[in-house]
Amino acid sequence: MNVMISPISDCATGTIEAYVPTVEKPWNKQRAMHLLRRMGFGGNLDMVNSVLSESPSVVVDAIVEEAMNLPLLEPPVWADWGAEDYTDADDELVDHFLSWGFEWVKAMKAHGFREKFALFWHNHFVTQWQTYFCSKYLYQYHKLLQTHALGNFRTFTKEMGKTPAMLVFLNGNVNTQFNPNENYARELYELFTLGEGNNYTQTDITETARALTGWWVDNAACADPTFMPTWFDNGSKTIFGQTGNFDFDGVHDLLFEQRADEIALHICTKIYKHFVNENVSEDIVAALAITFIENDFELAPVFKQLFNSEHFFDEANIGVHVKSPLDFFITFIREGDFPINDEILTLMGYAASQLGQTLFEPVDVAGWQGHYSWITNSTLTTRWQMLTDVVGYLYETAPDSLRDFAKLLTNDSNDPAFITKTIVDHFTGRGLQTQADYQKATIVFKYEVPQNYFDDGIWNLDWEYSDAMVALLLFHIVKLPEHQLS
């Protein structure tokens, strides 16, 4: 059963034109943090101040360019291992799976935007590790996600269809002229490019499967893909009303030539829903689709246009997305700039898996459904408990980090109501709904300190137990409905 989080009414306005700050819609901390959360996994106060020191357009373009030029992760020693390189394959394969997932979580914490988009594409071009069970394939698949996350979508789609993880997962490696397999052809249209039932037929699927024949990979040997000419259907095929002896490249070229509008609308709709709002603005998506086509399916211009738009920065689009488990954990750590070790980061990855978000193991070919599906009666308490444990760990091992965080964020204020509101607002996209909610949080923060200590100015953040007070407030914040949203 899903736990309800009160939705924000769909009243977003603004066009695709570039956002220009005004008195009514200022370039402020709320919008800066909204940008950092949607384009990455949030940011600490220094990052927010750095963003606010530039115009929104300069910031967006710089984030995209930096992500495009970011080096790939260093290949692991097993990046090109075949079956003969293992001594204890079952244990080693599991170790590689877990360790590379951890490396990706570390990259999310460190880099933000490129990894946010690689994760988005991981949930679009879905594969499942337990199906192909080969470390080399895992690395190659992930490298492809990082390489093309902000690149050319047509090239991305072509390369994905021939990567061994996908060939095995959707049976492309057993698709031959003697026994055609339609799995990949169907998902190529239904999920990856056009959208379900969107201007293609069963005949198009059948004929496309024939065009995709011939690619083989010896999964048991963890070998590289090979094109087998004798397995290829060399006959004439009719796809989208066009007849020819289409092969792998030819059918992809035909797809992007004949169904450009459908692809652009489908992909831009997915981008919009994931990074802006579940309630889609058809006008904004249509404008993005035009940009996508005019730029020959390059993704970067679409991202720049979207994140630069006044529509994106509309207040109605702020704090309306339910955070995924990884987003929930990593954003909290980045926004607090809290000192955590690799063990805690590993536990966060494990907790995300317990909540249904296991890296390299989406639930099915359609991927994680996201948004409200992340919040259920059984998962909500686990979300709370994990971050409560992290705060407890910080209080036990680095209590000064909690005090220093509060002092930095509030300019060393000694006003408990101001401190509470500033910290709450830092971790929530839209703040709390009522003044009574802030008063309740303030009571939690003040704990058992006598009221006259505050009234007479005796208390401040250097007080002996202020670190515990900050911890109590953070315990409260991680359970707030508003903190579940981005």
Helix 89-111, helix 325-336: angle, nearest 10? 50
The mean pLDDT of 134-152, rounded to a whole number, is 98
pLDDT value for 11:
65
The mean pLDDT of 326-342, rounded to a whole number, is 95
pLDDT value for 377:
85
153 pLDDT band, cuts 50/70/90, is very high
The mean pLDDT of 421-441, rounded to a whole number, is 97
Chain segment 379-399, per-residue pLDDT in tens: 999 999 999 999 999 999 999
pLDDT value for 21:
96
pTM of the model: 0.95
Chain segment 196-214, per-residue pLDDT in tens: 999 999 999 999 999 999 9
Q: Is 136 helix (H, G, I), strand (E, B) or coil?
A: helix
pLDDT value for 4:
41
Q: What is the DSSP string of 73-105?
A: PPPPTTTT--GGG-SSHHHHHHHHHHHHHHHHH
- Please list the helix, strand and coil fractions of the chain in percent, rounded to the nearest 5, in that order: 60, 5, 35
Q: Give the β-pairing of 237-239 and 242-244.
A: antiparallel
pLDDT value for 9:
42
**By percentage, how much of the chain surpasses pLDDT 70?**
98
The mean pLDDT of 356-376, rounded to a whole number, is 94
Q: What is the mean pLDDT of the chain?
A: 95
Chain segment 11-52, per-residue pLDDT in tens: 678 899 999 999 999 999 999 999 999 999 999 999 999 999
Chain segment 222-280, per-residue pLDDT in tens: 999 999 999 999 999 999 999 999 999 999 999 999 999 999 999 999 999 999 999 99
Report which of 313, 233, 302 is spatially closest to residue 277, judged by C-alpha positions.
Answer: 313
Chain segment 392-420, per-residue pLDDT in tens: 999 999 999 999 999 999 999 999 999 99
Q: Is 485 helix (H, G, I), strand (E, B) or coil?
A: strand
111 pLDDT band, cuts 50/70/90, is confident
- Cβ neighbours around 472 below 10 Å, total: 17
pLDDT of residue 144 exceeding 80: yes
